[in-house]
């Protein structure tokens, strides 16, 4: 048999497979209706084990791994379809709530707004806010929670907060507050961070014994500080550190801060770009008390808690794969008070309002203990 004949036979088999696959997915609706009536869960681990064991036994030994993988994916897609049907039958699905918060194309992200930031003038959050909004009216708060309270109480329209750094990782306190206040992310910005060693005029670098900055900035410059042979002290943000040094009468202290803060607080730049990695970026997010999805949103953030059992993370990742959704961030974090159990932060790329994202949002409850949807938004680079 020549190659053309073999390919023709493959095409015939593929056509049959496709027809059978479509029939299998259509049966998901009937299964979902039955489970709604009986109250049964979508995921039936005992039946799934039996099915996969039967597949393995009926397959040639050399094809057992591939056959099990294929049917595992088929069952995952079937379960996702069942979960989608069950969720949408309630009229209160996550996808329905997301669609309700979609802004029309005629309503782009606002150019001006009242914005809450943690810190003081010159903080990286303020720099980020001025890049995210053309003309922001900025209110400075002492803490991250202060930012959330200001937005929650209606004192400001939005809050701008750091969520992740390329060197130091996620800002877990902000994730915790997002979940506590049930806020939505409506925009994000990737800002390059260049830390500088700032001191009062006339102070020499060799005379510096102590350096003040935010804990993340200190972490991002740890190698430099070790070589400098100084003691590092944490303050609430880098701009506050520059302000503190400018007001101090001491001539042996310096701040790690932005170049903007040098001019703002009358300090000299003793050394520029002292971060350990030149590829040092911080992601800032804009948060809103109400869900809002502005035109062009392609990024979605989720926080998922899964059952503490083998394969739980795999079942979630399998859903992403089956729906052809690109995963751009996956990070785990221990759950307080629960030994060796973790929650996971996910950032995914999928345009808001499209069927793959809708299906994902509506098909996670059977494989997760809890799901927090933080919103869909555009990331500004």
Average pLDDT rounded to a whole number, residues 248-259: 96
Which pTM was predicted?
A: 0.84
Residue given tokens 């050399």 in the structure block: 62
CA separation (Å) from 327 to 103, 162, 318? Answer: 25, 21, 11
| From 129-138, 154-163, 365-374, the region with the lowest mean pLDDT | 365-374
The answer to whether the CB of 189 falls within 8 A of the CB of 131 is: yes
Q: What is the pLDDT of residues 272-300, one digit of tens each?
A: 999 998 888 999 999 999 999 999 999 99
Alpha-carbon distance of 196 to 61, in angstroms, equals 62
pLDDT in tens, 159-184: 999 999 887 788 889 999 999 999 99
* Strands in 108-182 per DSSP E: 112-118, 135-141, 158-165, 169-170
- Percentage of the chain exceeding pLDDT 90: 71
| Region 72-93 average pLDDT | 80
23 token code pair? 């029939």
Pick the CATH number of 3-101+297-380 from 3.40.630.30, 1.10.287.1060, 3.30.70.260, 3.30.530.20: 3.30.70.260
Amino acid 341: pLDDT: 77
Q: What is the mean pLDDT of residues 328-353?
A: 87
Question: Measured between alpha carbons, how far is 197 from 256 in angstroms, rounded to an integer?
Answer: 5
Question: What does the alpha-carbon distance between residue 14 and residue 20 come to, in Å, rounded to a whole number?
Answer: 10
Please report which helix (H) or strand (E) contains residue 338, including its range: none
pLDDT digit string, tens, across residues 182-232: 999 999 999 999 999 999 999 999 999 999 999 989 999 999 999 999 999
Q: For residue 181, what pLDDT is reported?
A: 96
Predicted pLDDT at 130: 96
Residue 28, pLDDT > 90, answer no
What are the pLDDT digits (tens) for 93-142? 899 999 999 999 999 999 999 999 998 999 999 999 999 999 999 999 99
Which ranges in the chain are annotated with CATH 3.40.190.10?
Answer: 196-271
Q: pLDDT at position 373, please? A: 96
Gap between the terminal Cα atoms of the chain: 55
Residue 90: pLDDT over 70: no
- pLDDT for residue 91: 64
| Residue with more model confidence, 98 or 308 | 98
> Which two tokens mark 324?
């052809």
Spatial neighbors of 49 by CB under 8 A, at least 6 apart, are: none
What stretch(es) of the chain map to CATH 3.30.70.260? 3-101+297-380
Q: Could you read off the pLDDT of 61-71 as tens digits, one per residue?
A: 999 999 998 99
The per-residue pLDDT for 167 is 79
Lowest mean pLDDT across 25-29, 79-83, 227-231, 330-334: 79-83
Q: How far apart are CA 185 and CA 179, in angstroms?
A: 11
Higher pLDDT, 309 or 170: 170
Partners of 228 in the beta sheet? none
Q: How many CB atoms lie within 10 A of CB 121?
A: 15
Pick the CATH number of 196-271 from 3.40.190.10, 3.40.30.10, 3.30.43.10, 3.30.499.10: 3.40.190.10
CB 352 within 8 Å of CB 98: yes
Q: Which two tokens stand for residue 186?
A: 């409506």
| Structure confidence at residue 366 as a pLDDT band (50, 70, 90) | confident
Residue 339, SS3 per DSSP:
coil
């Amino acid at each position: 048999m020549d190659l053309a004949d073999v390919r023709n036979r493959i095409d015939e088999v593929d056509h049959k497979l496709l027809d059978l696959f479509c029939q299998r997915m259509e049966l998901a609706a009937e299964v979902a209706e039955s489970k709604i009536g009986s109250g049964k869960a979508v995921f039936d681990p005992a039946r799934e084990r039996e099915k996969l064991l039967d597949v393995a036994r009926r397959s040639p030994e050399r094809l057992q791994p591939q056959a099990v993988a294929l049917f595992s994916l088929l069952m995952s897609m079937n379960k996702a379809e069942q979960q989608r049907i069950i969720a949408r039958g309630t009229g209160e699905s996550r996808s329905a709530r997301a669609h309700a918060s979609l802004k029309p194309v005629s309503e782009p992200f606002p150019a001006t707004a009242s914005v809450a930031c943690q810190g003081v003038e010159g903080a990286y959050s303020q720099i980020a806010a001025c890049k995210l909004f053309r003309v922001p009216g900025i209110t400075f708060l002492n803490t991250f929670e202060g930012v959330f309270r200001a937005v929650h109480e209606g004192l400001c329209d939005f809050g701008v907060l750091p969520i992740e750094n390329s060197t130091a990782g996620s800002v877990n306190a902000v994730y915790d507050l997002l979940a506590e206040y049930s806020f939505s992310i409506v925009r994000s910005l990737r800002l390059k961070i260049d830390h500088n060693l700032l001191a009062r005029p006339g102070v020499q670098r060799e005379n510096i014994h102590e350096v003040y900055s935010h804990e993340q900035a200190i972490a991002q410059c740890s190698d430099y500080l070790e070589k400098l042979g100084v003691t590092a002290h944490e303050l609430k943000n880098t701009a506050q550190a520059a302000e503190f040094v400018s007001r101090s009468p001491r001539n042996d202290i310096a701040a790690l801060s932005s170049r903007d803060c040098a001019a703002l607080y009358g300090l000299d730049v003793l050394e520029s770009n002292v971060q350990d990695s030149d590829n040092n970026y911080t992601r800032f997010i804009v948060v809103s008390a109400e869900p809002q999805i502005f035109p062009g949103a392609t990024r979605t953030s989720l926080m998922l808690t899964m059952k503490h059992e083998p394969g739980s993370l795999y079942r979630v990742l399998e859903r992403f794969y089956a729906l052809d959704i690109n995963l751009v961030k996956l990070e785990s974090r221990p759950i307080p008070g629960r030994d060796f159990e973790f929650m996971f932060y996910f950032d995914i790329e999928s345009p808001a309002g499209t069927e793959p994202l809708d299906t994902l949002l509506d098909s996670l409850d059977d494989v997760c203990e809890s799901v927090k949807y933080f919103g869909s938004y555009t990331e500004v680079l």
